[in-house]
Amino acid sequence: MGLSGLEIYKQLPKTNCKECGMPTCLAFAMKLAAKQAELSACPYVSDAAKQALDAASAPPIRLVTVGVGDQKLEVGNETVMFRHDKTFYHAPGIFARVKDNQADAAAAAKTIADYKVERVGLQMAAAGVAVENASGDAATFAAAVQDVAQACDGALILLSKDPAAMAAALPAVADRKPLIYAADAENWQAMVELAKKHSCPLAVREAGSLSALASLAEQVTKAGVADIVLDPGARSAAANLAAFTQLRRLALRKNLRLVGYPLIGFPGEAAASAEEETAFAGQQVMKYGGFIVLDHFDPASIYALLTLRLNIYTDPQKPIQVKPEIYAFGEVDQNSPVLVTTNFSITYFSVAGEVEASGVPTYLIVSDAEGLSVLTAWAAGKFDAEKIAKTVKACGIADKVSHRYIVLPGYVSTLSGEVEEELPGWKALVGPREAVDISPYLRRTWPTIVGKR
């Protein structure tokens, strides 16, 4: 059983220096106990305390980094089996596979690298490319890896069981810190030497059993490689789900360090179609995949997986929010309509998209509702007449328009009278309930309102 926060606190220097990023040593101890921090963050901990706390402070699943700079991918450091227990911290990287013997490997890699999509204000993209030594030739593999690296600035996974081919390919891309895949019972010693020489993380594959996988991982760590990714070799959806779940449970519930590493999956190797691969990949997004390598790169499928990943890896206690302020759409003037909504990102972008589509220059006041949607915020008392009035007064909209009309979301129409009491001189109008109706409302209804002034 791990140490409690108070037990860890007794071993800390108690200087409250804040250099670890926490306000107090006690707060840092609580983070260590929750496996959300590493002891190395404390610059003043004694050697004796390090020895005593080393096992207690290490995260149950090691944080492994692939890639460098803005393109690096960090996977691991997870602390719970289920998202609703706390949150998931490091989203899996989605890779697309190219083969060294395909004529358009570099072009395919560039297509993958160029794919980017925006959702709720966030830029989403594939993590990078996995290059497979399908030819079996070391020189061909090395040339393909170099071509792909030039075409794609994302993270790289090098797929080859041949140490000679891996040794030929690594020098050109070692500074990109690619993931080496894979060490197995036959080649692990040679792969370990390559991983140590080039300071790259190493994937370990053992399809025999989880105990055999743990034993092989132990041999690799004892040989000097700490950054490991595990592949239990299970390829069917059912077998993969069982293996990934058991490994996660052993790491978190049983504190078995030998399997406390991120997992890699290849959903396309058992899928009968691209659609089946996407569904299987979705399972791995939800159930503990750290690196997911696809055989088919399709923008529609990637978008679905990236959206699913965003949903699963958003902290359920901290909804995605936008900054509360006035947003202007189009060439606004003193007659432009004034809408109000909450700062829940999906609400904001739904409303903003319809406002832009209307072509009517509009002001949108976003009220701080702690990231809750309109109805949820209203029910929680975080989007009421007093809060709306305070936001309107503070944002300075009265100086930007000559009228005194404010349009409320239709679902909180009962607030209109209270808003008018809180904002003397203003008229609270009830707008549409659904975002899709905002565009026709602005084009047809608003001109009649302005014309009656």
pLDDT value of residue 1: 44
pLDDT value of residue 56: 62
pLDDT value of residue 55: 62
How far CA 125 is from CA of 76, 115, 119, 238, in Å, comes to: 19, 6, 11, 28
How far CA 268 is from CA of 237, 273, 276, 396, in Å, comes to: 10, 8, 8, 55
Count of beta carbons in the 10 Å neighbourhood of residue 264 = 27
> 449: which 2 tokens?
């309102």
Please state, in angstroms and rounded to a whole number, the distance separating the CA atoms of residues 387 and 389: 5
Count of beta carbons in the 10 Å neighbourhood of residue 237 = 16
What's at 82, amino acid-wise?
Answer: F
- CATH 3.40.50.11600, domain 326-451, yes or no: yes
Contact 247, 226 (CB under 8 A): no
pTM as predicted: 0.78
Contact 422, 385 (CB under 8 A): yes
The closest of 392, 430, 400 to 328, measured between CA atoms, is 400
How far CA 388 is from CA of 12, 203, 368, in Å, comes to: 46, 53, 9
Please state, in angstroms and rounded to a whole number, the distance separating the CA atoms of residues 441 and 407: 11
Q: Provide the angle, in degrees to the nearest 10, between the axes of the packed helices 47-57 and 25-33.
A: 40
Please state, in angstroms and rounded to a whole number, the distance separating the CA atoms of residues 192 and 178: 14
How far CA 99 is from CA of 105, 133, 135, 149, 159, in Å, comes to: 7, 6, 8, 13, 9
Q: Find where tokens 């990236």 sit.
A: 306
Please state, in angstroms and rounded to a whole number, the distance separating the CA atoms of residues 243 and 238: 9
- CATH 1.10.15.40, domain 5-57, yes or no: yes
pLDDT value of residue 2: 58
3-state secondary structure 258-289: HHCCCEEECHHHCCCCHHHHHHHHHHHHHCCC
Question: How do the pLDDT tens digits run along the chain, 453 residues long?
Answer: 457 788 888 888 999 999 988 999 999 888 887 767 778 888 898 888 887 776 666 678 999 999 999 899 999 999 899 988 888 999 999 999 999 999 889 999 999 999 999 887 788 999 999 999 999 999 999 999 999 999 999 999 999 999 999 999 999 999 999 999 999 999 999 999 999 999 999 999 998 899 999 999 999 999 999 999 999 999 999 999 999 999 999 999 888 889 999 999 999 998 889 999 999 999 999 999 999 999 999 999 999 999 999 989 988 877 788 899 999 999 999 999 999 999 998 899 999 999 999 999 999 999 999 889 999 999 999 999 999 999 999 999 999 999 999 999 999 999 999 999 999 999 999 999 999 999 999 998 888 776 655
Would you kindly state where each structural domain of the chain is located, as residue ranges? 5-57, 64-312, 326-451
Helices (H), 343-408: 345-358, 374-379, 385-395
3-state DSSP call for residue 135?
coil
Please state, in angstroms and rounded to a whole number, the distance separating the CA atoms of residues 184 and 231: 10
CATH architecture of 64-312: Alpha-Beta Barrel (3.20)
What's at 134, amino acid-wise?
Answer: A
